[in-house]
């Protein structure tokens, strides 16, 4: 996870990498799913998010956009997250 930074207008931003682990059904058969996602979070929650210890398990919602005009790599823009207590 990157350090908290700010947009020129002053909104906090945090970006980094999320690791996803789950089991999903694929054509009727359960399988393990693992993947990594670049993520970005802008707004008041960013400070809270940046303070989470690495390894915290989260449920995130948001949308995917490409990184820039020059890169089609997807970035998950988190608009909502919940810390999973276990």
Give residues with Cβ within 8 angstroms of 67, minimum separation 6.
38, 73, 74, 75
Q: Which helix (H) or strand (E) holds 45?
A: helix 45-50
**Is 38 strand, coil or helix?**
strand
Q: Which listed range, 20-28, 30-38, 48-56, 64-72, lies at the site for other proteins (CB under 8 A)?
A: 64-72
Which residue's CB is nearer to other proteins, number 21 or number 70? 70
Residue 56 interacting with other proteins (CB under 8 A)? no
Dihedral over Cα of 52, 76, 35, 31: its sign: positive
Minimum distance, C-beta of residue 43 to other proteins, in the bound complex (Å) = 8
Residue 40 interacting with other proteins (CB under 8 A)? yes
Residue 44 interacting with other proteins (CB under 8 A)? no
Summarize as ranges the residues that interact with other proteins (CB under 8 A). Answer: 7-11, 13, 40, 42-43, 65-70
């Amino acid at each position: 996870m990157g350090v908290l930074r700010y947009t020129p207008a002053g909104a906090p931003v945090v970006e980094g990498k999320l690791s996803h682990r789950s089991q999903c059904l694929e054509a009727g058969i359960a399988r393990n799913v693992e993947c990594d996602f670049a993520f970005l979070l802008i707004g008041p929650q960013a400070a809270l998010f940046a303070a989470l210890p690495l390894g915290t398990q989260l449920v995130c919602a948001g949308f995917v956009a490409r990184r820039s005009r020059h890169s089609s790599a997807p970035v998950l823009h988190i608009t909502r997250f919940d810390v999973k207590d276990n």
